[in-house]
Chains A and B, each alone.
Chain A
Amino acid sequence: MAELLIRGGYVFDPLNGIEGEKIDISIRDGKIVEKVSRKARVLDVSGMTVMPGGVDIHSHIAGSKANCARMMRPEDHWRDPEPKTKYTRSGVGHTIPSVFTTGYRYARMGYTTVFEPATPPLKTRHTHEELNDIPIIDKGCFPLLGNNWFVMEYVKQGRIDELAAYVAWMLEATKGYAIKIVNPGGIEAWRWGRNLRHLDDKVPNFDVTPREIVRALCQVNKILNLPHAVHIHPNGLSEPGNYQTTLDTMDCVHDIQRESGQTMHVTHAQFTGRKGWSWADVRSGAPEIADYVNTHDHVSIDPGQLVFTNVTWMTADGPAMFALFKFSKTKWFNADVESETGAGVVSATYKKSNYVNAIQWGIALELALLVKDPWKIYLTTDHPNGGPFTAYPRVISWLVSREARQRVIDKINKTARRRLDLPGIDREYSLHEIATITRAATAKSLGLGCKGQLGAGADADIAIYSIEPRKIDPAKDYKAVRKAFASAAFTVKDGRIVVKNGEVVRSVQGRTFWTKPEVSEGIMKTVTSDLERKFDDYYTVRMANYPIEERYLTSSQAITTRGDV
């Protein structure tokens, strides 16, 4: 294959300790190599910033709930069409873009890997169909296990080894990447129109608690040596005072250590980072959460940054969505999934003048600015819940520039402004730290050694931005920073140039990453016979038809791990 030399750029490669040095990047056969021959094509990027391609750890881009949202919200689409071009298929955008548009828009921002963070196992065939169709980016998905009947029964029985084998079976059956928990036990309670609020509430008819479910799955994660932490959306989403549940959730597994990496990743912590007793006095719980993250190594978080625009809420957390719908009175979609989980979708608009929205916005930024270690906090908007992923450049501008965020602070609800710590926070992210939270740290957290870095052997996924780090001061030139990250000068995927000056010039097929934990035959036999006994009782599809074959993935990339069971 072709050789490519990316010459003269200022490289930010946090995983290899490179901070803005002028280094040439050599590529052959889709991988980064030490050097290339003189016949290599040269891409001159003098005066530009070079980073590994963006790695998004949490973005709702594919699957049943995303598609139900698209179907329910034609009004989201008509204002933002994408006409077809010589290289691209047509589509629609805004908060829930169609699949082709999703891939192109990520690539235009220099992103090359994105994970769908919540897929209901029974409907994951659908998720993969959509992921297959998303062009350019590499991807994966996290199957939802926190309300699963088999999981809860094994937890109740204390059979952790069998639970581990079941999770191994599920990851292979769903071609999933990591364990996802959403509102553990709460979605099962939603079967009866109820919810769970605290870690020690009992799941109706199953006699287990969220604490037990979370602990058991974190133990399983360790036993199976899975590449990522347990990815969790805690109980109590959007309720005032839920920051305590978040703290309790993080703390309930502080004694479980993985060999490398965090035990638990708490996602979109802004939605579960609220202090206060009611909507009228919601406050920021960010200082407490950040403090916990700063003093404990077993957790990481992402904020789920809010952006003041029209959004679509979509999550597996069915009961939370209904609660929010009752507030917003817009449109509500709900889809429970038998024996496993659920989903909810609501349309909403965030306004600067709205007290609660302003507090939410502040909580997210406070989390990002108060967590000291950029290896523990990742840039997300929980697309499309906090805002569309196309808002990342704007969020970056708020992180690198106090002035940029002050302009927004000046316009938000006055009471919120008074009650947030944010106006007093001076910290400004450097470009190096931005590279960390948008690619290096996320790749590391996901256990994807081939991503998020530019060392020899890594995948040649590279983003080149039109900012000259030695000439600009991001804090003052935040508009230039925002513009540069919105429209990459070049995006390279597997060694091929796919974006030039923010336009897609080539479409390629990305890979779907999934995890295949290996466990002993004996334990797997026990579990499969449990499944065979119960499957027809629990599901309305046959066990033989449930697993997704590898050939289903257009381009499959399995990551094998060896489980200790």
Chain B
Amino acid sequence: MRNMPRTTLQNVLCTFCASGCDNLEITYDGRIVDSARNGCAISVSRFTTADESRILKPLVRREGKLRPTTFTRAIDRAARILINAKYPLLYGWSQTSCEAISKGIELAELVGGIVDNTTTSCHGPTILGVQDAGEATCTLGEVRHSADLVIYWACNPVHSHPRHMNRYTIFSEGRFRKTRKDRKLIVVDVRKTDTAKLADRFIQIQPNGDYELLTALRTAINGEEIEQDFVAEVPVETIEEIADMMMECEFGALFFGLGLTMTMGKHRNTEAALALVRDLNYVTKFVVVPMRGWFNVTGANEVSTWQTGYPYAVDLTQGYPRFNPGDTSAIDALARGEVDTALVVASDPVSHFPRAAVKNLLEIPIVTVEPKRTPTSDASEVVMPSAIIGVEAAGTIYRIDGVALEAKKVIEPPLGVRTDEEILDAIIKRVKKMGARR
């Protein structure tokens, strides 16, 4: 692809985190991206390092080693593995398009398996909290226009979502809030993070004390007395001051992250945060927006929900959707040694899952669909190389707040590498031809 003219594409959506920055300007020359403007540093590397660590050919394991093979043979082997499975897990999904996720659910139903996405290890507790407490939320532009109080709780957007504050909160310009002075920032965290350094008030909380502090805030907001002197190592006077700030604002916005969902209490922590915001709505306008991580984890939840009724950890083994995280969720099912086969799409559970789950994962056949070489792909029986969504393949993704956007295809994938959607479609066709049991 030499001698291709340099092209610049505008309004490109970044597919790294779930902030949904869609104003990137990408200049490329054939398959090489020269520059990515308007995004954060992470987005630049997403485009400029697309070629690193790529899997370039389909691989199947023969005599203990992964060897290149043809697309057809790899698909055939993958289909065979899935058809023979009695309790397969189809996992990943948060870094691919909705179109691919839809195929994944179809495949899970066809072979009778569990289809779960990375929500299970990050914001699953948020969804469980919503299932008990509901959620008062909005699209991010509403925060930009109206919020005069912003709270980051147990998250560090300076590093995790670098453009979040510029686009949506304290450094953004909205119709009713023009400058930084028009907004106050509170940060709650166990240590003084880089985000905390920007706060008007920083509340340092005892690790694993979030549930208590959220409960205390609710107590103050509901006009009741807190009998303790300290809650989660925060003085009650401070708690009451923060409660006052929340009640006196015109439009408050709470953002929370994994520090809440993955610490002691999990979905009860998120339920407490959601209940706090709900209680605040009796007094003033308040919203909550979780800080979702991967660029299409929200999409994975959305597609799963509209197709099966449930957002993740969906068990289709008995011919209809069932949902019970702790039972039907990937990590738990793997840890108990129940899963006998795994299909992993755009994820690396070998690197990220707890040890007990990884131990069992390494003992079963894995089919991986993935652009880059990972410890999971290294441990697989079949590896299908795929195109990177938003760089080499188009597709629909959902931003943190549920706004659906289209990721563009900017450059061609490496020769012979197909999209997740095409690969899954091929597996489905092969499985149907082989005669899935049911």
**A: which residues have CB within 8 A of B?**
62, 64, 66-68, 70-74, 77-78, 81-84, 89-92, 96-100, 122-123, 125-126, 129-130, 133, 190-193, 205, 322, 325-326, 331-339, 342, 345, 537-542, 544-545
Listed by A's residue number, 13 A-B pairs whose Cβ atoms lie within 8 Å are A72-B135, A74-B131, A84-B438, A92-B310, A99-B306, A99-B307, A100-B307, A123-B139, A126-B302, A205-B176, A333-B130, A335-B135, A541-B20
In the complex with contacts A74-B131, A133-B307, A322-B281, A122-B319 CB distance below 8 A: no
Cβ–Cβ < 8 Å partners of B396 in chain A: 125, 129
A331 touching B134 by the CB < 8 A rule? yes
Is B214 part of the contact surface with A, judged by Cβ < 8 Å?
no
Measured CA separation A74–B130 after assembly (Å): 11
A14 CB to closest chain B CB (Å) equals 35
Q: From B135, B139, B311, give the contact of A337 (CB < 8 A).
A: B139
Residue of A nearest to B398 (CB): A126
B22 touching A90 by the CB < 8 A rule? no
In the complex with contacts A74-B309, A77-B309, A99-B306, A540-B320 CB distance below 8 A: no
B287 touching A336 by the CB < 8 A rule? yes
B321 touching A71 by the CB < 8 A rule? no
In the complex with contacts A90-B316, A100-B307, A129-B136 CB distance below 8 A: no
A123 touching B402 by the CB < 8 A rule? yes
Residue of B nearest to A124 (CB): B404
Measured CA separation A98–B316 after assembly (Å): 14
B250 touching A192 by the CB < 8 A rule? yes
The residue in B127, B134, B168, B322 that gathers the most chain A C-beta atoms within 10 A of its C-beta is B134
Q: From B98, B138, B404, give the contact of A336 (CB < 8 A).
A: B138
Cβ–Cβ < 8 Å partners of A64 in chain B: 402
**B: which residues have CB within 8 A of A?**
10-11, 13, 20, 22-23, 98, 102, 106, 109, 127, 130-142, 144-146, 167-168, 173, 175-176, 250-251, 278, 281-282, 284-285, 287, 301-303, 305-311, 316, 318-323, 396, 398, 402-406, 438
Q: From A74, A332, A542, give the contact of B11 (CB < 8 A).
A: A542
The residue in B136, B396, B398, B404 that gathers the most chain A C-beta atoms within 10 A of its C-beta is B404
A4 CB to closest chain B CB (Å) equals 28
A542 touching B135 by the CB < 8 A rule? no
B40 CB to closest chain A CB (Å) equals 16
Cβ–Cβ < 8 Å partners of B102 in chain A: 133
A83 touching B144 by the CB < 8 A rule? no
Q: From B22, B251, B310, give the contact of A545 (CB < 8 A).
A: B22
Measured CA separation A81–B109 after assembly (Å): 14
Q: From B22, B106, B301, B319, give the contact of A541 (CB < 8 A).
A: B22
B311 touching A191 by the CB < 8 A rule? no
A91 touching B309 by the CB < 8 A rule? yes
Measured CA separation A92–B320 after assembly (Å): 8
A84 CB to closest chain B CB (Å) equals 5
Cβ–Cβ < 8 Å partners of B137 in chain A: 333-336
A71 touching B305 by the CB < 8 A rule? yes
In the complex with contacts A91-B309, A191-B285, A540-B168, A122-B11 CB distance below 8 A: no
Cβ–Cβ < 8 Å partners of A92 in chain B: 308-310, 320-321
Q: Which 3 A-B pairs have the closest CB atoms?
A: A338-B141, A92-B309, A336-B138
A538 CB to closest chain B CB (Å) equals 7
B404 touching A125 by the CB < 8 A rule? yes
Measured CA separation A122–B20 after assembly (Å): 14
Cβ–Cβ < 8 Å partners of B173 in chain A: 537
Measured CA separation A99–B175 after assembly (Å): 37
Cβ–Cβ < 8 Å partners of A68 in chain B: 135, 402
Q: From A81, A191, A337, A339, give the contact of B251 (CB < 8 A).
A: A191
Measured CA separation A540–B167 after assembly (Å): 8
The residue in A70, A191, A338 that gathers the most chain B C-beta atoms within 10 A of its C-beta is A338
Measured CA separation A559–B30 after assembly (Å): 40
B310 touching A77 by the CB < 8 A rule? yes
B404 touching A82 by the CB < 8 A rule? no
A540 touching B140 by the CB < 8 A rule? yes
Cβ–Cβ < 8 Å partners of A539 in chain B: 141
B320 touching A74 by the CB < 8 A rule? no
Q: From B135, B139, B406, give the contact of A122 (CB < 8 A).
A: B139
Measured CA separation A68–B144 after assembly (Å): 22
Residue of A nearest to B316 (CB): A90
Measured CA separation A81–B368 after assembly (Å): 31
Measured CA separation A389–B135 after assembly (Å): 26
Measured CA separation A64–B232 after assembly (Å): 37
B398 touching A70 by the CB < 8 A rule? no
A71 touching B311 by the CB < 8 A rule? yes
B11 touching A545 by the CB < 8 A rule? yes
A352 CB to closest chain B CB (Å) equals 27
B138 touching A338 by the CB < 8 A rule? yes
Measured CA separation A540–B13 after assembly (Å): 12
B309 touching A70 by the CB < 8 A rule? yes
Measured CA separation A302–B146 after assembly (Å): 36
Measured CA separation A535–B175 after assembly (Å): 12
A71 touching B130 by the CB < 8 A rule? yes
Measured CA separation A544–B168 after assembly (Å): 19
Cβ–Cβ < 8 Å partners of B320 in chain A: 81-84, 90-92
Measured CA separation A337–B145 after assembly (Å): 11
Q: From A91, A96, A130, give the contact of B308 (CB < 8 A).
A: A91
B302 touching A336 by the CB < 8 A rule? no
Q: From A99, A100, A540, give the contact of B144 (CB < 8 A).
A: A540
Cβ–Cβ < 8 Å partners of A62 in chain B: 306
Cβ–Cβ < 8 Å partners of B310 in chain A: 71, 74, 77, 92
B171 CB to closest chain A CB (Å) equals 14
A510 CB to closest chain B CB (Å) equals 16
Residue of B nearest to A130 (CB): B306
Given contacts A71-B305, A337-B138, 19 further A-B contacts (CB under 8 A): A67-B306, A70-B305, A81-B321, A84-B438, A89-B106, A98-B307, A123-B139, A126-B302, A129-B404, A191-B146, A192-B146, A333-B136, A334-B287, A336-B139, A336-B287, A337-B139, A337-B142, A342-B138, A545-B406
B175 touching A537 by the CB < 8 A rule? yes
Measured CA separation A326–B283 after assembly (Å): 13
Residue of A nearest to B19 (CB): A540
Cβ–Cβ < 8 Å partners of A538 in chain B: 141, 175
Cβ–Cβ < 8 Å partners of A71 in chain B: 127, 130-131, 301, 305, 310-311
B139 touching A90 by the CB < 8 A rule? no
A544 touching B278 by the CB < 8 A rule? no
Measured CA separation A123–B139 after assembly (Å): 10
A6 CB to closest chain B CB (Å) equals 33
B134 touching A72 by the CB < 8 A rule? yes
Q: From B168, B284, B402, give the contact of A335 (CB < 8 A).
A: B402
Cβ–Cβ < 8 Å partners of A193 in chain B: 281, 284-285
In the complex with contacts A123-B404, A338-B142, A545-B405, A333-B306 CB distance below 8 A: no
Cβ–Cβ < 8 Å partners of B404 in chain A: 123, 125-126, 129
Measured CA separation A151–B136 after assembly (Å): 26
B323 touching A74 by the CB < 8 A rule? yes
Cβ–Cβ < 8 Å partners of B133 in chain A: 331
Cβ–Cβ < 8 Å partners of B130 in chain A: 71-72, 333
Residue of A nearest to B145 (CB): A338
Cβ–Cβ < 8 Å partners of B308 in chain A: 90-92, 98
Cβ–Cβ < 8 Å partners of B281 in chain A: 193, 322, 334
The residue in A91, A125, A126, A205 that gathers the most chain B C-beta atoms within 10 A of its C-beta is A126
Cβ–Cβ < 8 Å partners of B127 in chain A: 71
A138 CB to closest chain B CB (Å) equals 19
Residue of B nearest to A332 (CB): B134
A339 touching B141 by the CB < 8 A rule? yes
Measured CA separation A334–B311 after assembly (Å): 18
A334 touching B135 by the CB < 8 A rule? yes
A116 CB to closest chain B CB (Å) equals 12
A331 CB to closest chain B CB (Å) equals 4
B140 touching A70 by the CB < 8 A rule? no
B309 touching A338 by the CB < 8 A rule? no
Cβ–Cβ < 8 Å partners of A97 in chain B: 309
Q: From B20, B131, B167, B307, give the contact of A72 (CB < 8 A).
A: B131
In the complex with contacts A67-B302, A82-B320, A98-B134 CB distance below 8 A: no
